[in-house]
């Protein structure tokens, strides 16, 4: 990303923040950017000051329902550029003195509300999973190609992290400081619980609760998940839904746990092919909608197929190490 594109990106983030439209992820990104340098903090202060001035201008000349936000932001950018250019004349000295006082006030706001001086910690897992012990006693296990970012030591009233990818959280209970995860435009709020969050797909989020209670929030929508329940967020529809799943594989990447609850044989085979990277096929005589309930934990694919065969009266033919054919068993 070149300098111009970067400037445009953060201009848009600032505009969204000042207009109250920034998502939790965008707010965290902006706060992190502000804390990177004094120049960034100053740019934000000038933009906020110009925004306040532009809002006053609009309220003087328009009723609130007719305010043009786009025009207001263009005015902000224009005013900010003027201030950055430091074009000063004698008649503006008094006004600039007032501007300086306002800017100091805004910088005070940033220091106390957005905390740019706080250090951000980013921990990532690339080719191997990684376990993280947080200062509050909570534990996070990152899947590969995943990361979390948070303020070192957390804030006074909450424990907030930003997640990219997939992680399992085991959170210590603290009713005064809820634990909040921001990922793919939604927030997940907990007091103390164990749950898995998968946001590896940028267009969705899946949360499965192992114990305790979890709250999923997107804009004004909210759903509550209890032990054993799964919640989903789809970016294209902007919906949060609670879904009863028949295949629970959220723990497979950690401990190879796999649960099928009244699951059709066809779905079981598809899941095994994906998770074990094998090719299991069924002959044409198999009744694929047959259902079964079974749990597996850290078992190899051949043992799993043997258990399924005994449970459903099937026979398994091994063609190669990673290729199998399922046939009907003898009556």
CATH number at residue 312: 3.55.50.30
Residue 285 pLDDT exceeds 70: yes
pLDDT at 214: 93
Same domain, 50 and 104: yes
For residue 42, the model assigns a pLDDT of 74
Per-residue confidence at 243, pLDDT binned at 50, 70, 90? confident
Asked if residue 117 has pLDDT above 70, the reply is no
The mean pLDDT value for 8-19 works out to 79
Judgement on whether residues 152 and 228 belong to the same structural domain of the protein: yes
pLDDT score of 67: 44
C-alpha to C-alpha distance for 292 and 265, rounded to whole angstroms: 7
* Percentage of the residues of the chain whose pLDDT score is greater than 70: 77
Query: Is 74 a residue whose pLDDT tops 50?
Result: yes
Where does a domain end: 221, 245, 269? Answer: 245
Quick one: pLDDT at residue 5?
Answer: 66
Say if CB 218 and CB 24 are below 8 A apart. no
Task: Determine the Cα–Cα distance for residues 236 and 218; give it in Å rounded to an integer.
Answer: 13
Asked if pLDDT for residue 105 goes beyond 70, the answer is: no
The pLDDT of residue 109: 52
Q: List the domain range (segments joined by +) for residue 280.
A: 252-328
Q: Is the pLDDT of residue 77 over 90?
A: no
- Of 85-99, 119-133, 144-158, 231-245, the poorest mean pLDDT is in 85-99
238 with 258, same domain: the answer is no
| Structure token pair of residue 70 | 């786009």
Same domain, 19 and 78: yes
290 and 221, same structural domain? no
Pair 206, 130 in one domain? yes
Identify the top-confidence range among 15-29, 51-65, 90-104: 15-29
Q: Which of residues 153 and 171 earns the better pLDDT score?
A: 171
Model confidence at 43: pLDDT above 80: no
Taking residues 208-221, report their average pLDDT.
91
pLDDT at 331: 59
The helix/strand/coil state of 281 is strand
Over residues 118-124, the mean pLDDT reads 84
> Quick one: tokens of 298?
């850290």
Distance set, CA 51 to CA 71, 182, 196, 285 (Å): 11, 27, 40, 70
Work out the pLDDT band at 45, boundaries 50, 70, 90.
confident
Q: Which residues pair with 160 in a beta bridge?
A: 180
Q: Is residue 198 domain-shared with residue 278, that is, in the same domain?
A: no
Q: Is the pLDDT of residue 172 over 70?
A: yes
CB atoms within 10 A of CB 191: 17
CA distance to 245, 253, 321, per residue, from 33 (Å) = 39, 33, 51
């Amino acid at each position: 990303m070149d300098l111009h594109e970067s400037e445009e990106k953060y201009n848009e983030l600032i505009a969204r923040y000042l207009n109250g439209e920034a998502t939790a992820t965008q707010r965290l990104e902006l706060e992190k950017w502000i804390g990177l340098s004094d120049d960034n903090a100053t740019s934000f202060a000038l933009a906020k000051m110009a925004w306040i001035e532009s809002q006053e201008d609009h309220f003087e000349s328009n009723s609130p329902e007719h305010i043009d936000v786009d025009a207001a932001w263009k005015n902000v950018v224009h005013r900010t550029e003027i201030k950055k250019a430091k074009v000063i004349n004698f008649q503006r000295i008094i006004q600039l003195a007032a501007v300086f006082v306002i800017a100091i006030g805004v910088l005070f706001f940033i220091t106390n509300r957005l905390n740019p001086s706080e250090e951000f910690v980013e921990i990532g897992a690339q080719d191997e999973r990684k376990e993280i012990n947080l200062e509050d006693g909570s534990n996070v296990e990152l899947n590969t190609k995943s990361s979390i970012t948070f303020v070192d030591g957390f804030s006074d009233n909450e424990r907030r992290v930003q997640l990219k990818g997939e992680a399992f959280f085991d959170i210590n209970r603290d009713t005064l400081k809820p634990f909040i995860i921001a990922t793919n435009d939604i927030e997940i709020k907990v007091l103390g619980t164990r749950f898995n969050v998968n946001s590896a797909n940028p267009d969705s989020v899946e949360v499965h609760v192992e114990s305790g209670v979890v709250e999923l929030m997107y804009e004004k929508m909210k759903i509550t998940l209890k032990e054993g329940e799964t919640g989903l967020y789809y970016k294209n529809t902007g919906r949060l839904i609670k879904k009863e799943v028949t295949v629970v594989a959220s723990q497979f990447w950690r401990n190879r746990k796999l649960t099928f609850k009244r699951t059709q044989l066809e779905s079981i085979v598809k899941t095994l092919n994906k998770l074990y990277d094998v090719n299991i096929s069924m002959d044409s005589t198999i009744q694929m909608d047959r259902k079964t309930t079974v749990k597996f934990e850290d078992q190899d694919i051949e043992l799993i197929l043997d258990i399924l065969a005994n449970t459903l009266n099937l026979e398994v033919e091994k063609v190669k190490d990673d290729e199998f054919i399922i046939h009907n068993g003898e009556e």
